[in-house]
């Protein structure tokens, strides 16, 4: 791991120029100059080899990992036994993307769009990720925050096909959990939740499975992590949400949430079973655990397993990234500034009047993680503007209704001087003839690249410096135009896939292992043998005692 960190430090300043020289649209390695013998050798070493699938006919069309719909060529249709099972038209993947997006944009609400994308993932996995990657700004709020929160609330109603594993308090042993994990083939990256603190919505129990599914979809779309590496896990220890317990469509066990020693034993058995089944280097990302569990579980396992908590470490890294970017405008180093955090921290006594605190502390920035919608009132925003030439206001709570203030309010009440970021997306704002593009301080800038690097480097644990490096890399990718013209503190969301590769560092190796968004030929390329080695009909001698027609 120390070598890994030194490698990151050594390459972090030079990777940008290398990426610019080798950039491709979808993460493919084909843009490299393969006339260079060294590059060609690396290309052959790192490329992922394809094999003709064993499944044929209708069964192949039911496999979302192999299905290409109307993009199958005539040769593939004949060879794979699907000719006549599809309409006779032949489409490119671009046509398919157009058709999907057209249908999505015709939907009346975001939940309907979520359901269409869910159906597409169940039917044609590669097309799903192509659609998501090419329209990431439009669709990321659908597959993740804020729409995923609504999807989790209605998960029992929209549930169609299992996409992960459910481990309950009734399976509380290493052996039983191992058997469950053995039922699922994917294994390199696990996102696990117990559903107790889903976004800002509270205890949703087993309905929280939408969070690991959405997170891992972003791993693939934003970092190119192979879908076959990913496993969503829901730890069902019950729920204290009475509405769920009385819902006839609730998909979890109907009992109050288990706590204490029995709960701790369940998590411990899960971690040991993961290590036994997949190896200690398997990445486990804790997601949306309650505060009382999130910190202590991270502290308990971080030295012995490859684990991190995105709510804690990912959120911290994305905040630091935005603050580092802001110094290019304020011209003040971070150590000379004061930042006030408004949230559920445990280090201070409760203080109820935020306005009085702002007046007393006079912070350079306020950072909201409280899930209290509207907590940053117009008066607080104006007070921040009075104390700072360029006040920093981060309203990071999700979903949108839980945000401490809107982008429009922050910009208008600061007279356009605010450096603003939010957790959920806000529309662009026009103010005093200037066009503002509010930055989204979304963990998606951080966790996909970190996950990709940890999986590819087979790390045994996750050092804190990785998150600082990711934050610095993210801040460096913000252009001067974004900062000074649009007031945006984060890169364009369309660039997250490139950012993830930079975070993962070893460019050639990474680019050959990121998930390709292009279809590939399912049939192995035919090749010829020398004629003398493939010629049939070698003469055989007549065996003794063998009769001929003449003998008869």
Same domain, 264 and 294: yes
For residues 63-88, average pLDDT: 96
Contact 210, 148 (CB under 8 A): yes
Q: Is 144 an annotated catalytic residue? A: yes
| 33 band by pLDDT with thresholds 50, 70 and 90 | confident
Is 287 annotated for ligand binding? yes
How many structural domains does the chain have?
A: 2
**Closest C-alpha among 433, 290, 434 to residue 371:** 290
- Domain range spanning residue 429? 313-443+477-495
pLDDT at 517: 77
Domain at 333, CATH number: 3.40.50.720
| pTM reported for the whole predicted model | 0.81
Is 442 annotated for ligand binding? yes
Same domain, 211 and 282: yes
pLDDT at 11: 39
Strand order in the sheet with 307-309: 165-168, 230-236, 189-193, 283-286, 307-309
230 within some domain? yes
pLDDT tens digits, one per residue of 388-410: 999 999 999 987 888 999 999 99
Burial of 182-207, coded b for 16+ CB within 10 Å and e otherwise, reads eeeebbbbbbbbbbbbbbbbebbbbb
65 within some domain? no
**What's the distance, CA 155 to chain centroid?**
20
DSSP state of 88: S
Same domain, 222 and 370: no
Spatial separation of the C-alpha atoms in residues 230 and 129, rounded to whole Å: 14
Same domain, 348 and 245: no
Is 13 annotated for ligand binding? no
Spatial separation of the C-alpha atoms in residues 231 and 216, rounded to whole Å: 8
pLDDT at 550: 53
State yes or no: pLDDT of 9 exceeds 60: no
Same domain, 245 and 328: no
What three-state secondary structure class fits 107?
Answer: coil
- Which comes out higher in pLDDT, residue 15 or 237? 237
Among candidate residues 215, 219, 263, 445, the one labeled active-site is: 215
For the chain, what percent of residues have pLDDT higher than 90?
Answer: 68
Same domain, 141 and 283: yes
59 within some domain? no
Same domain, 299 and 346: no
pLDDT at 264: 98
Q: Which of 305, 327, 352 is the last residue of a domain?
A: 305
Is 207 annotated for ligand binding? no
Phi/psi at 380 (nearest 5 deg)? -65, -40
Q: Which of 305, 336, 354 is the last residue of a domain?
A: 305
Among candidate residues 144, 305, 445, 519, the one labeled active-site is: 144
540 within some domain? no
Q: Which of 305, 333, 357 is the last residue of a domain?
A: 305
* Residues ≥6 apart with Cβ < 8 Å to 221: 129, 132, 133, 136, 143, 497
Contact 441, 421 (CB under 8 A): yes
- Average pLDDT score over the chain: 87
Same domain, 333 and 294: no
pLDDT tens digits, one per residue of 38-52: 777 767 766 777 778
DSSP code string of 25-40: SSS-STTS-TTSHHHH
Same domain, 123 and 227: yes
Domain at 105, CATH number: 3.40.50.10380
Same domain, 127 and 249: yes
Same domain, 291 and 365: no
Same domain, 143 and 280: yes
pLDDT at 23: 35
DSSP state of 285: E
Phi/psi at 438 (nearest 5 deg)? -60, 130
370 within some domain? yes
Q: Where are the alpha helices (DSSP H) in 210-314?
A: 210-223, 242-245, 261-278, 291-301
pLDDT at 364: 98
For residues 257-273, average pLDDT: 97
Spatial separation of the C-alpha atoms in residues 208 and 198, rounded to whole Å: 6
Is 171 annotated for ligand binding? no
- Within 10 angstroms of residue 244's Cβ, the number of other Cβ atoms is 23
Contact 513, 49 (CB under 8 A): no
For residues 291-298, average pLDDT: 94
Total residues found in the chain within this entry: 552
Is 130 annotated for ligand binding? no
pLDDT tens digits, one per residue of 421-477: 998 889 999 999 999 999 999 899 999 999 988 888 888 889 898 899 899 999 999
Question: Strand pairing partners for 342?
Answer: 368
DSSP state of 373: T
86 within some domain? no
470 within some domain? no
Spatial separation of the C-alpha atoms in residues 236 and 247, rounded to whole Å: 16
pLDDT tens digits, one per residue of 230-243: 999 999 999 999 99
Spatial separation of the C-alpha atoms in residues 97 and 208, rounded to whole Å: 29
pLDDT at 400: 84
- Please count the helices (runs of H) and the strands (runs of E) in the chain: 26, 12
| 297 band by pLDDT with thresholds 50, 70 and 90 | very high
- Between the two ends of the chain, the Cα-to-Cα distance in Å is 81
- Within 10 angstroms of residue 116's Cβ, the number of other Cβ atoms is 17
For residues 283-304, average pLDDT: 95
Q: Is 215 an annotated catalytic residue? A: yes
DSSP code string of 405-470: S-HHHHHHHTTT--EEEESS----EEETTEEE--EE--GGGTHHHHHHHHHHHT-SS--THHHHHH
């Amino acid at each position: 791991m120390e070598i890994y960190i030194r490698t990151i430090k050594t390459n972090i300043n030079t990777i940008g120029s290398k990426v610019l020289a080798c950039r491709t649209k979808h993460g493919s390695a084909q843009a490299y100059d393969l006339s260079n013998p060294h590059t060609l050798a690396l290309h052959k070493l790192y490329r992922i080899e394809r094999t003709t699938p064993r499944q044929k006919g209708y069964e192949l069309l039911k496999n979302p990992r192999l299905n290409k719909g109307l993009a199958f060529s005539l040769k593939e249709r004949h060879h794979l036994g699907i000719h006549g099972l599809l309409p006779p038209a032949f489409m490119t993947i671009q046509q398919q993307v157009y058709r999907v997006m057209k249908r999505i944009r015709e939907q009346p609400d975001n939940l309907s769009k979520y359901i269409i994308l869910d159906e597409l993932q169940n039917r044609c996995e590669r097309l799903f990720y192509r659609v998501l990657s090419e329209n990431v700004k439009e669709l990321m709020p659908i597959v993740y925050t804020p729409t995923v929160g609504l999807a989790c609330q209605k998960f029992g109603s929209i549930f169609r096909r299992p996409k992960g594993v459910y481990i309950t308090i009734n399976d509380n042993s290493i052996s039983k959990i191992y058997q469950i994990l053995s039922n699922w083939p994917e294994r390199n990256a696990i996102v696990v939740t117990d559903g107790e603190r889903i976004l800002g919505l509270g205890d949703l129990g087993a309905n929280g499975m939408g969070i690991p599914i959405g997170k891992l979809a972003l791993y693939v779309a934003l970092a190119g992590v192979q879908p076959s590496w990913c496993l969503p896990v829901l730890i069902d220890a019950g729920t204290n949400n009475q509405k769920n317990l009385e819902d006839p469509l609730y998909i979890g066990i109907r009992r109050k949430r288990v706590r204490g020693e029995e709960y701790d034993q369940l998590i411990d058995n899960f971690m040991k079973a993961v290590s036994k089944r997949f190896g200690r280097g398997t990445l486990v990302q804790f997601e949306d655990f309650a505060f009382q569990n999130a910190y202590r579980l991270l502290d308990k396992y971080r030295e012995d397993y490859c684990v991190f908590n995105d709510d804690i470490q990912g959120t911290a890294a994305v905040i630091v990234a935005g603050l580092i970017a802001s110094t290019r405008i304020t011209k003040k180093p971070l150590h000379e500034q004061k930042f006030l955090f408004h949230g559920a921290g445990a280090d201070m006594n409760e203080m109820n009047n935020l306005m009085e605190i702002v007046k007393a502390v006079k912070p350079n920035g306020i950072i909201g993680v409280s899930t209290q919608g509207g907590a940053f009132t117009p008066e607080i925003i104006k007070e921040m503007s009075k104390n700072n030439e360029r006040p920093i206001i981060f309203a990071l709570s999700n979903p949108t209704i839980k945000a401490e203030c809107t982008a429009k309010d922050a910009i208008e009440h600061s007279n356009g001087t605010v450096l603003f970021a939010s957790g959920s997306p806000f529309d662009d704002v026009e103010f005093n003839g200037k066009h503002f593009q509010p930055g989204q301080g979304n963990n998606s800038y951080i966790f996909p690249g970190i996950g990709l690097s940890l999986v590819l480097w087979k790390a045994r644990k996750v050092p804190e410096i990785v998150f600082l490096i990711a934050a610095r890399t993210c801040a460096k990718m913000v252009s001067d135009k974004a900062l000074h013209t649009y007031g945006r503190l984060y890169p364009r969301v369309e660039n997250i896939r490139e950012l993830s590769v930079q975070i993962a560092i070893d460019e050639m190796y990474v680019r050959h292992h990121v998930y390709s968004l292009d279809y590939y030929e399912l049939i192995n390329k035919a090749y010829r043998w020398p004629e003398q080695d493939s010629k049939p009909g070698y003469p055989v001698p007549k065996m003794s005692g063998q009769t001929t027609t003449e003998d008869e």
